Amino acid sequence: MSTSIDPVNLSPVPALQDSYTFHSQLPGNVASGEAAKQNEEWIMGIDEAGRGPNNELTDIGPMVYAAAYCPLSFKPTLEDIGFDDSKALSAETRQSLWESFDVHQPLCYSSTTLSPQDISSNMLRRVPVNLNRQAEDATIGLIRSALDRGINIKECYVDALGPAPQWQARLSAIFPTINFTVCPKADSLFKIVGAASIVAKVTRDRYVHTWIDPEDVAADGTLPVKAEDEEPINRGSGYPSDPKTQAFLRESLDPVFGYKGIVRFSWATVKVILDKQGVECKWTDDTSQPSAASWFGADADNGRPKMWRDLGVSGVGEL
């Protein structure tokens, strides 16, 4: 994943196709290496948006993992800013808290945005990479990148991903110099995790509510133009229990080509809709249809189409 521009300070957000990581600017003493010389200790908090509550996996949009971090000496100020679980705050309050990162220079953040396309393609691999593993990799990557940037993380608070004791033990084994606290509802218990929660939520919401389909961007980068009287698309929260999200999934389905990039097509909810409303496709490498295979010359040894044998592949998925 490459470093990219910050989507929160752009309107509209750029079309998202590839996952990426963004880092805010570090204070001058860190960037210059002075903090490392003084062995200044920092705290970090990590939270996510776009996974879904209570195992209700999100159907649309990216999943964003965010880390907020600041010197331990800044902790008393951090406690008074007003950070909390982003889901418990209004959109206006979240935006105001987001802007506080510019006001309080010692307070920094990083975010890893996993695109819907990457989430789905990882889960549909021959050896699947499930959402838990993708979330773990994002968390570990955020911590490692902070250390690589010269930040001396002393304490790290993480919102629980699965069983908290096991996840805390694994993080501690990977980063033995950091004191980890992993627990449910960490975003409401620790202000630094609440700060990370704001970054993750605001970043994801900007993508969901102002999404630009990569498929609709012209080759020269020109964005699609909407008519003045065109109603904005309401995608809801992205959770399968949300009626607005359900309506969006029903109305945006193309029976032949399925969905555009915002939809995570690896989820059960989407698969059910595709099975019910989509057109069944027949693949030429389907061994249950010998007539299709014979168009390309079947391999007498194993029934594979001759085309796949000549290309050195075993099916459409490898292409």
Q: Is residue 171 situated within a structural domain?
A: yes
pLDDT digits (tens, 9 = 90+) for 120-168: 889 888 888 988 899 999 999 999 999 999 999 999 999 987 789 999 9
Q: Residue 53: which pLDDT band, with cuts at 50, 70 and 90? A: low
Sign of the Cα torsion 56, 204, 193, 121 reads: positive
| CA distance to 29, 110, 201, 232, 299, per residue, from 149 (Å) | 12, 11, 24, 41, 55
Q: Residue 20: which pLDDT band, with cuts at 50, 70 and 90? A: very high
When pLDDT is averaged across residues 10-36 and rounded to a whole number, the result is 76
* Ligand-binding site membership of 48 (annotated): yes
Closest CA relative to residue 195, chosen from 311, 305, 106, 309: 106
Model confidence at 35: pLDDT above 90: no
Model confidence at 226: pLDDT above 80: no
Q: Residue 45: which pLDDT band, with cuts at 50, 70 and 90? A: very high
* Ligand-binding site membership of 159 (annotated): yes
Tell me what pLDDT residue 105 has.
82
Tell me what pLDDT residue 1 has.
47
* Ligand-binding site membership of 79 (annotated): no
Structure tokens at 57: 């996996």
Closest CA relative to residue 113, chosen from 217, 54, 199: 199
Tell me what pLDDT residue 114 has.
95
Tell me what pLDDT residue 59 has.
79
More confident residue, 66 or 87: 66
Model confidence at 286: pLDDT above 90: no
> Which of 44-58, 124-138, 163-177, 230-244 ranks highest by mean pLDDT?
163-177
When pLDDT is averaged across residues 232-256 and rounded to a whole number, the result is 85
pTM above 0.85, yes or no: no
Residue ranges of E strands in 132-237 = 153-159, 179-183
Tell me what pLDDT residue 258 has.
84
DSSP code of 62? -
Model confidence at 308: pLDDT above 90: no
| Distance of alpha carbon 58 from alpha carbon 51, whole angstroms | 6
| Triad 167, 168, 173: Cα angle to 5° | 100
Number of domains in the chain: 1
Tell me what pLDDT residue 291 has.
52
Q: Within 10 A of 286 (CB to CB), how many other CB atoms are there?
A: 14
Mean pLDDT of all residues belonging to the chain: 83
Q: Are residues 224 and 212 in contact, defined by beta-carbon separation less than 8 angstroms?
A: yes
Q: Is residue 309 situated within a structural domain?
A: no
Q: Is residue 224 situated within a structural domain?
A: no
Tell me what pLDDT residue 318 has.
60
Q: Are residues 67 and 149 in contact, defined by beta-carbon separation less than 8 angstroms?
A: no
Give the pairing of strands 42-49 and 63-71.
antiparallel
Query: What percent of the chain is modeled with pLDDT above 90?
Result: 38
Model confidence at 12: pLDDT above 70: no
Q: Is residue 120 situated within a structural domain?
A: yes
Q: Are residues 27 and 106 in contact, defined by beta-carbon separation less than 8 angstroms?
A: yes
Rounded to the nearest 10 degrees, how much is the dihedral formed by the CA atoms of 76, 23, 42, 84?
A: 40
Q: Residue 293: which pLDDT band, with cuts at 50, 70 and 90? A: very low
Q: What CATH number did the domain enclosing 151 receive?
A: 3.30.420.10
Q: Residue 189: which pLDDT band, with cuts at 50, 70 and 90? A: very high
Tell me what pLDDT residue 295 has.
44
Model confidence at 299: pLDDT above 70: no
- Identity at 116, one-letter amino acid code: P
- Which strands form 108-114's sheet, in the order they lie side by side? 2-3, 20-23, 108-114, 63-71, 42-49, 153-159, 179-183
More confident residue, 270 or 38: 270
Model confidence at 11: pLDDT above 70: no
Q: Is residue 155 situated within a structural domain?
A: yes
Q: Is residue 28 situated within a structural domain?
A: yes
| Distance of alpha carbon 147 from alpha carbon 134, whole angstroms | 20
Burial classification of residue 29, based on how many CB atoms lie within 10 Å of its CB (0-12 exposed, 13-18 middle, 19 or more buried)? middle
Structure tokens at 222: 């020109």
Tell me what pLDDT residue 15 has.
74
Which alpha helices (H) appear in the chain, and where do they start and end?
A: 28-31, 34-38, 75-79, 91-103, 116-123, 131-148, 164-174, 186-189, 191-209, 243-251, 268-277, 290-294, 306-311
Q: Are residues 47 and 63 in contact, defined by beta-carbon separation less than 8 angstroms?
A: no
Model confidence at 190: pLDDT above 60: yes
Host H or E run for residue 42: strand 42-49
Range of the domain at 25: 7-210
When pLDDT is averaged across residues 95-121 and rounded to a whole number, the result is 91
Q: Is residue 44 situated within a structural domain?
A: yes
Q: Is residue 286 situated within a structural domain?
A: no
Residue 304, classed as helix, strand or coil, is coil
